[in-house]
Amino acid sequence: MSENSRALKLAEDNQKLANKRKKAKEKWGIVLDTSKCIDCKACTVACKMENYVPVGFYNYRIWVAEDTHYAKYPVISRSFQPSQCQQCENPPCVHVCPTHASYKTADGVVMVDSKKCILCKYCMTACPYDARYESHTTEAIDKCTFCYQRREEGKDPACVETCPPKVRVFGDLNDPNSEVSRLLAYNEYTVLKPEKGTKPKLKYIK
């Protein structure tokens, strides 16, 4: 199978899976401890491999940005902020999509039904995180799906699984006993651009 048809098949399979999981009770989220990040970018590579993200510098679902607020020599520090689609609970991209191509699954994952996408790119202008791009393989807008194809087997998303220092922890925010819920209970955390009211499900431990 060519790369294109694999990407298309994955997109279609994910739609079917989302339909099948219509009664899912989970609310998936990722808790990140960025102080552990070593900027190895394994997550970005794993994401591309797992999801057949097309080749190209600006075709990506996930990134590791360097914190540019350097201190001055000799007092120096360096840190990184890995991120991706925030899987907002109040997703602007879903509100603005004219054809319901962007939608939120029962378990709270924002996905794109590539067959319905008309490529008006309204979601790209609506997203406060620049988390979307135009994919040549699915001929639609593409974005992080929390590796939805892995939900059946209960495996972690590729970025979470591959991370050497375990920056990301994936789990069910609705389950008070899950590791993510525990981390959020024991630590102070923040989200990106809270002022936009998007209620992200990516939580950053302070």
Partner 1 sequence: MSTNTTTMDFFAKNDKISNIWLILTLLISLFGVYGVFNVLINGHDVYGVTRTVPWGILISTYVFFVVSSTGLCLISSMGHVFGIEKYEVIGKRAVILAILTLLCGFGVIAMELGHPFRMAIYNIISPNFESAIWWMGTLYGVYLVFIIIEFYFLMKHNHKGAFYAGLGGFIAGISAHSNLGAVFGLLEARPFWHGPYLPIYFILSALISGTALIIIIFNISYGRPSNLPEKAKNALTGLSKLFGLFLGIIIFFDIWKIITSVYGAPPEKYESVMALLTGQLSFNFWFFEVMLGMLIPFFIILFTKGRNLTASLIAAISAVIGIFYMRYDLVIAGQLFPMREPAPGAHVQSALQNGMVTYSPSFSEISIVIGALGFCVFLYLLAEKYLNLSE
- Determine if 204 is a binding residue for partner 1 (CB under 8 A): no
Cα 103 from chain centroid? Answer: 14
- Determine if 12 is a binding residue for partner 1 (CB under 8 A): no
Q: With left for phi above 0 and alpha for psi between -120 and 50, is residue 187 left, alpha or beta?
A: beta
- Determine if 130 is a binding residue for partner 1 (CB under 8 A): yes
CA distance 95 to 60: 23
**Which DSSP state fits 22?**
T
Q: How many chain residues are in contact with partner 1, going by CB under 8 A? A: 43
CA distance to 57, 77, 80, 122, per residue, from 128 (Å): 20, 27, 19, 12
Q: Which residue has the tokens 């000799």?
A: 74
Least distance to partner 1 from the beta carbon of 100, Å? Answer: 5
| 119, 152, 155, 166: residue in contact with partner 1 (rule CB under 8 A) | 119
Query: Of the ranges 4-12, 20-28, 113-121, 180-188, which one interacts with partner 1 (CB under 8 A)?
Result: 113-121
- Collapsing DSSP to helix, strand or coil, 195 comes out as helix
Cα 40 from chain centroid? Answer: 18
- Determine if 38 is a binding residue for partner 1 (CB under 8 A): no
How many alpha carbons fall within 13 Å on the CB side of residue 109? 31
- Determine if 78 is a binding residue for partner 1 (CB under 8 A): no
Least distance to partner 1 from the beta carbon of 201, Å? Answer: 17
| 9, 118, 152, 155: residue in contact with partner 1 (rule CB under 8 A) | 118
Query: Of the ranges 2-10, 126-134, 162-170, 179-187, which one interacts with partner 1 (CB under 8 A)?
Result: 126-134
- Determine if 58 is a binding residue for partner 1 (CB under 8 A): yes
| 18, 47, 88, 97: residue in contact with partner 1 (rule CB under 8 A) | 97
Cα 178 from chain centroid? Answer: 19
> Which parts of 148-187 interact with partner 1 (CB under 8 A)?
none
Q: Which of 104, 113, 105, 106 is nearest to 141 (CA)?
A: 113
CA distance 83 to 75: 27
Query: Of the ranges 59-67, 149-157, 163-171, 174-182, which one interacts with partner 1 (CB under 8 A)?
Result: 59-67
**Binding site residues, partner 1, CB under 8 A:** 39, 41, 57-58, 60, 63-68, 80, 92, 95-101, 115-122, 124-130, 132-134, 136, 139-140, 196-197
